[in-house]
Structure 1
Amino acid sequence: MHSNSIPITQPWSLAIEGFITHLKASGAPATTLRARREQLQHLARRAPADPWSLTADELLAYFADQTWQTETRRGRRSCFSMFWKWGKRVHGAKNIAKHLPKVKPAAPSPMPVPPPVYEAAMRRADQRTKLILRMAHDAGMRRGEIAVSASWDLVQDFVGWSLVVHGKGGKTRMVPLTPRLAFELLALGEGYFFEGAIDGHLSPRRISELAADVLDAPWTIHKLRHRFATDLLDAVGGDLLTVQEACGWAKADTARHYIPVPLDKIRQGIYRAREVEPLRAVEATA
């Protein structure tokens, strides 16, 4: 039986919906509500007991059994921590999530999609998927931001078209669009750009799946954001604040996870620091 077909018990369903209602009352955006519900449902289908009788050891065993990437693991731990803190306040339950080990942030590993990989993916993609790839590559949008984008987010000024992007934590930012991307989005007409069954639009997961179908492994739609950030930083002469605003980063040092430092720049810096002329350096190794 597929794991998603395993029924969720009533105690779990009631607990999850109660927690989601709490988050909604606090002003959490729809993307956060959907993510938290999916994270808890994943646990609910695999947990050996109902939420308020589950033990710390059982939760730890579930946590250890998953093959998540580091940032996914950090996100799940955060979700479970919030859920059981809420359960302690509302239901008097023990906060078993506090026994989960802390997960260190992943080391920066920027991987901008190489241009030939992007071009090959565009040749394979249908029109819908091409537009999805272009929104990540040309506007630096996350999969969740692409999923909820709609015609009413398009804004025109005296220079061109921009898009109101609905980012993490309910934050929005304005991203200028290339003329070609603006034309393609305008041609879609009224409504969500990618219609689907979830609140009228495709889910972020489906956006990723469509991109993965045409991108060579190990490249992903998120790595197209790495490409966007890397190219933009070079185009604006190293102005990191501009890149931060365009990408919707809360902190500028997030750039370390997106933008690699080219080896040739490191080499040039070392040569300048040690007063070495490039030609002489080559001759010395010949």
Structure 2
Amino acid sequence: MPTTYTPELRWGDAVTAFEAAQRAARYADSTIETRLKHVRRFADGIGLSPWRVTYEDIRAWLDRESSNKHTRLSLRTSIRAFYRWAAASGRMADDPSEEPSYVTKKAPVPEKWRPALDAFRSYLRANGQPRTSVSVRMAQLSRFARDHTNLDPFDVGFDDLVDWLSEKRWKPETRRAHRSVLRVFYAWAVQSGRMETSPAEKLPVVRRGTHLPRPALEEEYRKALAFASPRERLALVLAAELGMRRAEVAQVHSKDLMQRDGIWTLTVHGKGAHQRSLPLAPNHVSMLRSLPEGYVFPGNDHGHISPAYLGKLISRLLPAGVTMHALRHRFATRVYAVDRDVFAVQQLLGHASPATTQVYVRIEESSMRRLVEAVAS
């Protein structure tokens, strides 16, 4: 009968491979020994397979293990070295020791929920979900788990879900997103044999909210440009003049800039791993070509700045209540005004449906008044 590949065996193989990689990289013997000691200590205390560990697991373990600042820093450094190697060598899709952009200082996920959420995370990754989508879905599920600490995830009933969704004072989009992830999670639970039926299958449909477009005003955009640093100015331009989302701006790389038959384009990495190609104006080409190779906005989020932090930087340049996303609305409104082609605007924004694009376009009152006057008797 085959031997079960337990977490202990997985850790043993992982630490052996890590040690070989450290020695091949010619780190000092003392550094290697310290890192191995710390990683083994972590392995003994975490109780999980090395490849199921999350950022929240590492943070919680460090909190339990030591209150001494220097000891904690030393342990964290060794664990980061291990997981950077794991991610670089392809053993993990992401580095769990690196703080994700969505993390906030919240209570850890309840112990009862961890195995289920870890398994669901693996399912999403195996399904080819983009890293950002996985992070958002796990954050949403973790919110539900924290509100149901003493309830086993597979004992949740229909009424539990309805009560939770009904008590939240959310916008329709937020409510729809949480309903969606609960339906996916419990459909997976049924598919994987953890439950017989899904309590989320018959959750009531959440209607889309009615929104008025809120494009940034021209004077707001121009004032932000005047006070921006060179990199902030480029982020403003990409959002306001190309309609890019903050996550798309954050990921721009020099290799995304391409020229074919004398025409320059920028490959944009959009939602759900979808890519689109945007034509560039001469000023856009000049700004991008003047930068060194690599990420245009370097940072600690897999080599580039995190979208959340970039959004905060740009929002500081804009009036209160005006976000970086309002610059995308500005682009949509101005492009639509050129020839009223909603399908072209849809392609430029990377929307799956023109109905979504309509939410971004603000029709000027003067245009509506002109139409009304044209048919008036």
TM-score range, shorter chain: 0.7 to 0.9
Q: Which residue of 2 aligns with 1:228?
A: 331
Percentage of pairs with the same residue? 34
1:78 positional shift? 0.8
1:9 maps to a residue whose letter is P
Partner of 2:132: 31
**Cα separation, 2, equivalents of 1:159 and 1:3:** 46
Larger radius of gyration: 2
1:191 aligns with 2:294: yes
Deviations 1:154-212 (A, max 9, x none): 11123442111111222211011232233323333222222232222233222222222
CA spacing shift, 1:70–1:124, aligned 2, 3 Å: farther
Is 1:242 the equivalent of 2:344?
A: yes
CA contact (8 A) 1:3 1:45 kept: no
With structure 2 as the length reference, what TM-score do the two structures score?
A: 0.66
Aligned partner of 2:249 among 124, 139, 146: 146
Q: SS in structure 2 opposite 1:155?
A: strand
* Structure 1 partner of 2:354: 252
TM-score by length of 1: 0.85
C-alpha displacement at 1:65, in angstroms? 4.1
Letter in 2 for 1:254: T
Structure 1 residue corresponding to 2:178, chosen from 66, 71, 76? 76
Q: CA 1:52/1:197 → structure 2, altered by over 3 Å: closer, same or farther? A: farther
> How far apart, in 2, do the equivalents of 1:121 and 1:92 lie?
53
| 1:206 aligned residue (309, 332, 335) | 309
Unpaired runs of at least 5, structure 2? 1-102
- After superposition, the Cα gap between the structure-2 partners of 1:196 and 1:101, relative to the gap in structure 1 and judged at 3 Å, is farther
Alignment correspondent of 1:157: 260
RMSD: 2.4
Letter of the 2:322 counterpart: W
Shift of residue 109, structure 1, vs aligned partner: 1.3
Structure 1 residues 128 and 60 mapped into 2: Cα distance closer, same or farther (>3 Å)? farther
When residues 178 and 206 of structure 1 are mapped into structure 2, their CA distance, relative to the original with a 3 A threshold, is: same
Q: CA deviation at 1:93?
A: 6.2
2:365 is aligned with 1:269: no
Aligned pairs for 1:19-168 (under 5 A) are 19-48=120-149, 49-90=151-192, 91-92=194-195, 95-98=198-201, 100-168=203-271
Can you list the C-alpha shifts for 1:59-89, whole angstroms capped at 9, x where unaligned? 4444344443321221121111101111122
3-state DSSP class of the match of 1:96?
Answer: coil
